[in-house]
Structure 1
Amino acid sequence: MLLKEVLFFQNQLHQLIQHCAFKMFVIYIIIALFNAPVVFGAQQGKCDQTPPQAKVLIPSKNKGTYKLTIETNQQIPFLFMPDQTYVVTLQTQNNAKPFRAFMITAEDPNVDNTHDLGPNLVDVGSLKTLDTEIGRKSRYSERCYSSVENTDSSDKYKIEIHWISPKQSYTSQKIRLRAMVAENEEVWYTGGDDLIVMMEKDNHPPLDSPPHPPSPTCNLCSEARYEVVFQGQWSRLKHPYHYPSKPDENGYSHMVGASHSYNYIMWKQGLKASDGLKLLAEQADVTEMEREIINAMSKENGTRTLIRGKRRHHPYMAEPSQALFRVDREHHMFSIAVAMRPSPDWFLGTSRFELCKEDEWLEYYEIPLFPWDAGTMDGVSYESTPTMTQPVDVVKRVEVGSFNRESPFYQKNLKDLAPFATLQVKRLDVYPIPEEDCHQDQEDNSKRNAEEGDEDTEEMEALDEPQAAESRQSEGTCSVSEWSDWSPCVPDNGICGRGLQTRKSIKNGSTYNNHISQTHQQIGSRSNCNEDDAVRVQNRHCSINC
């Protein structure tokens, strides 16, 4: 009996020990998995580039035999722009020494100092293979994030891949491209100056950026008159890849825009297109956008001047389209847009171009223009059959650096792309405003200004017809008559539809048939005006119902 009890307790003890050992084993496995550098095919922390077949775990020293390079316009440090494509090359410098295995990794350099970085903690862009499916030599790595490695063990002399930089990145971001090459199972190399490329974000603004960022306030006690000139440059010579097959149908829409306040947004990268921009980009129709601009007109906010320039079609696309507009301390920036035809929903333009500087109005500036995508229609090329984008996307650059061979921007960077137009803005006149008028809260000063400056104010308001395209004649200080009545509306085409009205004013007290009223209000006293400047002309858009 005693022997049976002893055997029973031994059996229970044995089961208990087995049970505890199993629990300890499970806990060990959990801890091991939690701290493992590779989890389900993806690393935590820095990528271990040791070749899987390596029989020697310590890399050899590369003496310039193998080199990793990247094509950019800037050298040491290599600078990258957001959402651009760069060609990365790994090659041997000695044809007698090919390599059989390789790995290229894009990573955050800070991974050297921490070991718990998970996937997508820092956007380092992405790598894309360039090989075709047949005979391809590179593939996406299953061992490490943002990595490409060899598919076979054949001899290799040169490997090219693409690195697509992050769409958005913080100001001082650095990204490291690191390569490993292996000659065989015993000799392999990684790191060092020849197999590492450090990339830094290029903090210079894009080529088509205005010279100054938008400012919520403008402290200038003056108004200014500007001319904006759109000069087309889209041509088969400058943009030969997939240039439209029927160039006679090419063209730019009317240039449409506004001078406006800080809070008004006609269009902006990262925001969805308005109904007006959608119609403009898809059909080259400016009517809805003009309506949006006119409806937003306000003395203290919104828009001030509707900007409208002529449309240009082949073969006159290189001829300039220009317009005049006014700005003041409330409406101190401007935006414009011009549709490209044919295209799915592409347009050219500038958004929230700041004209107010700290001590004066901007005198002159010119920027190149590159295509924008309104985000409403899908299509990869000028003549693509467009389909509606579902869901509607935001306004962004046309996909420069595209991997689609049907795209006219296939593997093109912004700096490698010829401008599709240039935009010039020229200051023509500055109209000082009395200092006291800049402070509306001082009622006495405002009242005195109203009594002393009525005539000047009336003259500037006469020139500031919101829909008027102002003439370029110099005003000087000649005697100026009142404006005549607006002429009848003259349609652009046919007998109805959109057209133009004209009114005139004369200098030096002259008469001008029936366009000028019988009574002339003289402003200024100078009487030696040039004959060429004797008549001032203003135009505005009108419409006759069909």
Structure 2
Amino acid sequence: MLLKCLLLLSLAVSQAFGLMGKCDHTPPLATVNTPLENRGYYVFNIENAVQKEGNLYYTPDQTYVLTVTSRENSRPFRWFMITAEDPAVDNNIYDFGRKFADVGSLKTLDTDWRSRYSERCQNTVENADNSAKTQVEVHWVSPKHSENQQQVRIRAMVAENKEAWYTGNNLTILLHMDDQRPRDSPPLPIRDECNLCSEARYEVIFNGRWSRLAHPRHYPSKPDENGYTHMIGASHGNNFTLWLQGTNAGPGLVDLVVKPTPTTLEREIIDAMVLDGGTRTLIRGKKHDHPFMSKPSHSLFRVDRTHHMFSIIVGMTPSPDWFLGTSKFELCDEDGWLEKFDLPLYPWDAGIVDGVSYESPKSMSQPVDNIERVEIGSFDRDSPFYQMNLNDLAPFAILQVRRLDVYPLIGIDCSEGQNAEEELQQDAPVLEPVLAESRQSLLGESCAGEWGEWTPCTPHAGVCGPGLRTRTRYIQNIDLYVNYKVSKSGKGEQEFSSCKNNKDSKATERKECFVRC
């Protein structure tokens, strides 16, 4: 009997506080239980939402401005309620096993004493006084991590007096989650495996864009002390992570953005260099301080079938522990290596030091937070991103990725289903002489001289890590060329020359190697 009473009491409390089903928007002092029809007297609007094919879409973890406005000054309203809710809620049926979706959060403005958080309903803002109002503004922060096809319904109620209040479809906004990737997302999805029959060499260029003109709010008071740290990163495989949203920062990242020194992070990358995973190339670009912050930082790196992505980090000073960068930028596609891409960069928070602005007093976070995007749309007036939307924020840097060369894999048997033929056609000027060199055995040993000694291992970047060694031999009376064609069946065919003239040529063979650091 006691258990039954407690359950009934719990249900009554839940209903009273709007925790079950839809929030009841009937004004507490209303003498009429049925709302009137809103014939355009009041308008409910949301800014920055994207409209596509008649629907409104939101981006996760962004700030949106909601306004309720009276079209006529002669028709002010005194009471209002605004609620964000899961459209799947039912006012009459409650499923105890149902998991409600994250609908974000509503925020009152600290300068507007006419609104407050409701004690009757969850995720609801209501009037704090009975004064006449012609407009109210509330901010909605969309869910940080939305599921595909998630929807959020935001309902408003306005009341002129005890007898006249309005709600319904024209005071309701239905929002769909926009599955478009954030502006600072790499163009290709991460691949478990890369099956391209080649390697590639890239250049990455960091172009700083942080300035008083582009980012005026709370810009540092001593710009002569502004700067970017070294650009540090690596080309790597799936089993290596330089940094990742939602995880703790490693010691190397902490040292780069807090001290700032790149030594620890460079050592982490070098120690992870292995042929069958980990990292392949250490990426290192120059640091730039004011007034040369717009000067680009360059670095070269290589990728292969195992190490087919890259990550970088660039710290910002002054800041609590903010940095710019990209994590697990995939370069391998079904049709070949990515040719080029320009990526806008926005600040990330390493979660080590507390602070809301560039020059905030520094104190260590206790406990340490995960790496997350610096709070865009912050409701702290000391933040440079106070009530902003990511789509309205100018990039703090542009990262340019450019493919320079593509090299075939020698002695590798490509598995079926790859587009090796298309890739070779696309990069024929680079690949043709290498193909000829790698197929000398088809021309007959009588044409070829003895191989010379292997050269010492030459790392692709720096003084250690993966690299190449080569050896050469002379080919007598041979004309080196390769004709490449694709038959009607789609299968590639190569035609090689034979010994038929008096021209001597030199053939080169390459082999992967590794220099320990």
Q: Name the TM-score class by shorter chain.
A: 0.7 to 0.9
Instruction: Determine the C-alpha separation between the residues in 2 that align with 1:208 and 1:458.
Output: 44
Equivalent positions of 1:313-328 (< 5 A) are 313-328=289-304
Residue type of the alignment partner of 1:96 = S
Would the aligned equivalents of 1:260 and 1:331 in 2 still touch at CA under 8 Å?
yes
Displacement of 1:144 after TM fit?
0.7
Instruction: Determine the C-alpha separation between the residues in 2 that align with 1:339 and 1:34.
Output: 51
Displacement of 1:128 after TM fit?
1.0
Displacement of 1:94 after TM fit?
1.3
Secondary structure at the counterpart of residue 381 of structure 2: coil
Distance 1:109 1:42, change over 3 A: closer
Instruction: Determine the C-alpha separation between the residues in 2 that align with 1:114 and 1:432.
Output: 66
* Residue number in structure 2 paired with 1:176: 153
Q: Is 1:195 equivalent to 2:171 in the alignment?
A: yes
Instruction: Determine the C-alpha separation between the residues in 1 that align with 2:92 and 2:172.
Output: 19
Distance 1:462 1:67, change over 3 A: same
Secondary structure at the counterpart of residue 343 of structure 1: coil
Instruction: Determine the C-alpha separation between the residues in 2 that align with 1:303 and 1:457.
Output: 29
Residue type of the alignment partner of 1:360 = G
Distance 1:461 1:73, change over 3 A: farther
Percentage identity across paired residues of the two chains: 55
Instruction: Determine the C-alpha separation between the residues in 2 that align with 1:177 and 1:456.
Output: 76
TM-score, structure 2 normalization: 0.79
Q: Which moved more, 1:214-223 or 1:118-127?
A: 118-127
Distance 1:30 1:315, change over 3 A: closer
* Residue number in structure 1 paired with 2:114: 137
Residue-by-residue CA offset, 1:251-302 (whole Å, 9 max, x unaligned): 1111110000111101111111110001111122110000000000001100
Q: Is 1:409 equivalent to 2:377 in the alignment?
A: no
Unaligned 5+ segments in structure 2 are: 416-436, 443-449, 467-473, 475-504, 509-514
Would the aligned equivalents of 2:240 and 2:278 in 1 still touch at CA under 8 Å?
yes
Instruction: Determine the C-alpha separation between the residues in 1 that align with 2:162 and 2:210.
Output: 54
Instruction: Determine the C-alpha separation between the residues in 1 that align with 2:14 and 2:156.
Output: 19
Equivalent positions of 1:430-449 (< 5 A) are 430-434=406-410, 436-438=412-414
Distance 1:467 1:169, change over 3 A: farther
Residue type of the alignment partner of 1:335 = S
Secondary structure at the counterpart of residue 120 of structure 2: coil
Q: Is 1:276 equivalent to 2:252 in the alignment?
A: yes
* Residue number in structure 1 paired with 2:103: 124
Instruction: Determine the C-alpha separation between the residues in 2 that align with 1:27 and 1:429.
Output: 73
Instruction: Determine the C-alpha separation between the residues in 2 that align with 1:458 and 1:114.
Output: 80
TM-score, structure 1 normalization: 0.75
Instruction: Determine the C-alpha separation between the residues in 1 that align with 2:41 and 2:13.
Output: 30
Instruction: Determine the C-alpha separation between the residues in 2 that align with 1:449 and 1:29.
Output: 84
Would the aligned equivalents of 2:199 and 2:303 in 1 still touch at CA under 8 Å?
yes
Secondary structure at the counterpart of residue 185 of structure 2: coil
State the superposition RMSD in angstroms: 3.1
Secondary structure at the counterpart of residue 109 of structure 1: coil
Instruction: Determine the C-alpha separation between the residues in 2 that align with 1:40 and 1:309.
Output: 60
Aligned length: 442
Residue type of the alignment partner of 2:64 = Y
Secondary structure at the counterpart of residue 268 of structure 1: coil
Q: Is 1:161 equivalent to 2:138 in the alignment?
A: yes
Q: 1:236 aligns with which of 212, 224, 233?
A: 212
Residue type of the alignment partner of 1:188 = W
Q: Is 1:93 equivalent to 2:89 in the alignment?
A: no
Secondary structure at the counterpart of residue 43 of structure 1: coil
Secondary structure at the counterpart of residue 458 of structure 2: helix
Distance 1:365 1:467, change over 3 A: farther
Would the aligned equivalents of 2:86 and 2:100 in 1 still touch at CA under 8 Å?
no
* Residue number in structure 1 paired with 2:182: 206
Displacement of 1:457 after TM fit?
13
Would the aligned equivalents of 1:44 and 1:117 in 2 still touch at CA under 8 Å?
no
Residue type of the alignment partner of 2:77 = F
Unaligned 5+ segments in structure 1 are: 1-22, 440-447, 471-478, 480-521, 526-539
Displacement of 1:113 after TM fit?
7.0
Equivalent positions of 1:58-69 (< 5 A) are 58-69=34-45
Q: 1:286 aligns with which of 262, 272, 275?
A: 262
Distance 1:339 1:203, change over 3 A: same
Distance 1:251 1:189, change over 3 A: same
Q: Is 1:78 equivalent to 2:78 in the alignment?
A: no
Residue-by-residue CA offset, 1:435-485 (whole Å, 9 max, x unaligned): 64457xxxxxxxx98997998997896362455899xxxxxxxx9xxxxxx
Q: 2:81 aligns with which of 80, 83, 103?
A: 103
Instruction: Determine the C-alpha separation between the residues in 2 that align with 1:281 and 1:402.
Output: 22
Instruction: Determine the C-alpha separation between the residues in 1 that align with 2:315 and 2:89.
Output: 45
Distance 1:49 1:38, change over 3 A: farther
Secondary structure at the counterpart of residue 32 of structure 2: coil
Distance 1:450 1:265, change over 3 A: farther
Would the aligned equivalents of 1:137 and 1:152 in 2 still touch at CA under 8 Å?
yes
Displacement of 1:112 after TM fit?
3.4
* Residue number in structure 2 paired with 1:418: 394
Instruction: Determine the C-alpha separation between the residues in 2 that align with 1:457 and 1:58.
Output: 94
Displacement of 1:121 after TM fit?
2.8
Distance 1:336 1:455, change over 3 A: farther
* Residue number in structure 2 paired with 1:517: none
Q: Which moved more, 1:169-178 or 1:457-466?
A: 457-466
Q: Which moved more, 1:39-48 or 1:54-63?
A: 39-48
Would the aligned equivalents of 2:281 and 2:465 in 1 still touch at CA under 8 Å?
no
Displacement of 1:385 after TM fit?
1.4
Residue type of the alignment partner of 2:119 = E
Instruction: Determine the C-alpha separation between the residues in 1 that align with 2:465 and 2:205.
Output: 13
* Residue number in structure 1 paired with 2:307: 331
Distance 1:457 1:71, change over 3 A: farther
Greater share of residues in helix: 1
Displacement of 1:359 after TM fit?
2.0
Instruction: Determine the C-alpha separation between the residues in 2 that align with 1:456 and 1:395.
Output: 52
Displacement of 1:396 after TM fit?
0.7
Instruction: Determine the C-alpha separation between the residues in 2 that align with 1:263 and 1:450.
Output: 34
Distance 1:58 1:357, change over 3 A: same
Instruction: Determine the C-alpha separation between the residues in 1 that align with 2:306 and 2:453.
Output: 16
Distance 1:30 1:232, change over 3 A: closer
* Residue number in structure 1 paired with 2:373: 397
Greater share of residues in strand: 2
